[in-house]
Amino acid sequence: MKLTIGHLYPDLLNLYGDQGNIRCLQKRLQWRGIEAQVQSLTSDSAIDFTKLDLVLLGGGSDREQELACRFLSGQKEAFRDYAEHGGTVLAVCGGYQLLGNYYQTGDMLLEGLGILDIYTKWESKRLVGNIILNSSLTFSSRPVVGFENHGGRTYIGNHTPFGQVISGCGNTEASGYEGVVCKNIIGTYLHGPLLPKNPEICDYLLERSLKQKYGASQTLGTLPDRLEHLANSDIVKRFTPRKFFFFPSLSKSKREKS
Ligand code: GLN
């Protein structure tokens, strides 16, 4: 078996170690004897979405995001088609904002890909720091941890959030929710990089891709993940407010989010 991972615009969208997500995807496939091919699709590349099994978009500054948006405008239909038909996508921060309808800053309006029915508005106070979520995508009670740094506030309407914020801000400081999960897409503000510290999220994406390509019966076995879990729990211990030490479960998948 083989999965092809498309890393979109690593020359533009590459903040806070987002490249580490690619390494994590690759390694966790290799450890299971599954071939992992990575296509590094820089802004001058022609992208054939029909050849990709998993797409990763990282974060970028507003300027880089504007450039990425310009390059992606020619690929809009193909990307939308890929995502609508079950293609797996991880989009982080600037990449997450690009999946929406628009990103509005003080002086520009960037039209997004319209893959998710969300929008983002910039505010001058940046939301920066470590962030901890309770997500229904991690099958254990282990929280999702990461780092956020964004001026955008994302309004996700009726979409299902990626997680409930235990510590940090997420989509907006007021909503209490972070990111979006829709079909086989995760959009999130979590850098970190996200996947090495949250191996269950990495495996969620890989399993979705395998099922999409090779059929619903495909599953991934577990890996020991001792170091990954230590890294995760260290952050949880340092940044979880005491009142949340017993994590509430995100029982309702759809809630009022923003
Ligand atoms: N430019 C976006 C913002 O500040 C995204 C930043 C990022 O990717 N970290 O909201």
The answer to whether position 38 is within a domain reads yes
169 is catalytic: no
Instruction: Look at residue 244 in the predicted model and tell me its pLDDT.
Output: 53
Domain harbouring 109, CATH code? 3.40.50.880
Ligand 1 pocket at CB < 6 A: 15, 59-62, 65, 93-94, 149-152
Which residue, judged by its Cα, is nearest atom 5 of ligand 1?
Answer: 94
Atom of ligand 1 nearest to the CA of 148: 9
93 is catalytic: yes
The answer to whether position 184 is within a domain reads yes
Inform me whether the pLDDT recorded for 249 exceeds 50: no
Atom of ligand 1 nearest to the CA of 120: 10
Tell me the DSSP string of 211-239.
Answer: HHHH-TT--------HHHHHHHHHHHHHH
43-80 pLDDT, tens digit each: 989 899 999 999 999 999 899 999 999 999 889 999 99
**214 C-alpha to center of ligand 1: Å?**
35
Tell me the DSSP string of the chain.
Answer: -EEEEEEE-TTTS--TTTHHHHHHHHHHHHTTT-EEEEEEE-TT----GGG-SEEEE----HHHHHHHHHHHHTTHHHHHHHHHTT-EEEEETHHHHHTSSEEE-SS-EEE---SSS-EEEEEEEEEEEEEEEE-TTSSSSPPEEEEEEEEEEEE-TTSBPSEEEEES-TTSTTT-EE-EEETTEEEE--BS-HHHH-HHHHHHHHHHHHHHHH-TT--------HHHHHHHHHHHHHH--GGGSSPPP---SS----
**96 C-alpha to center of ligand 1: Å?**
9
Range of the domain at 40: 2-239
The answer to whether position 214 is within a domain reads yes
**94 C-alpha to center of ligand 1: Å?**
5
Inform me whether the pLDDT recorded for 243 exceeds 60: no
**150 C-alpha to center of ligand 1: Å?**
4
Count of domains in the chain? 1
Phi, psi of 66 (to 5 degrees): -65, -40
Inform me whether the pLDDT recorded for 147 exceeds 80: yes
Beta-bridge partners for 249: none
Q: Tell me the pLDDT band of 254, cut-offs 50, 70 and 90.
A: very low
Give Cα 250 to chain centroid, integer Å. Answer: 18
Q: Tell me the pLDDT band of 16, cut-offs 50, 70 and 90.
A: confident
Site to substitute for ligand 1 among 13, 90, 97, most atoms within 8 A of C-beta:
97
The answer to whether position 244 is within a domain reads no
Site to substitute for ligand 1 among 99, 127, 150, most atoms within 8 A of C-beta:
150
The answer to whether position 254 is within a domain reads no
The answer to whether position 255 is within a domain reads no
Instruction: Look at residue 192 in the predicted model and tell me its pLDDT.
Output: 84
Burial 104-139 (b: 16+ CB within 10 A, else e): ebeeeebebbebbebbbbbeeeebeebbbbbbbbbe
The answer to whether position 198 is within a domain reads yes
Catalytic residue from among 93, 169, 182, 202: 93
The answer to whether position 250 is within a domain reads no
Q: The whole model's pTM is what? A: 0.92
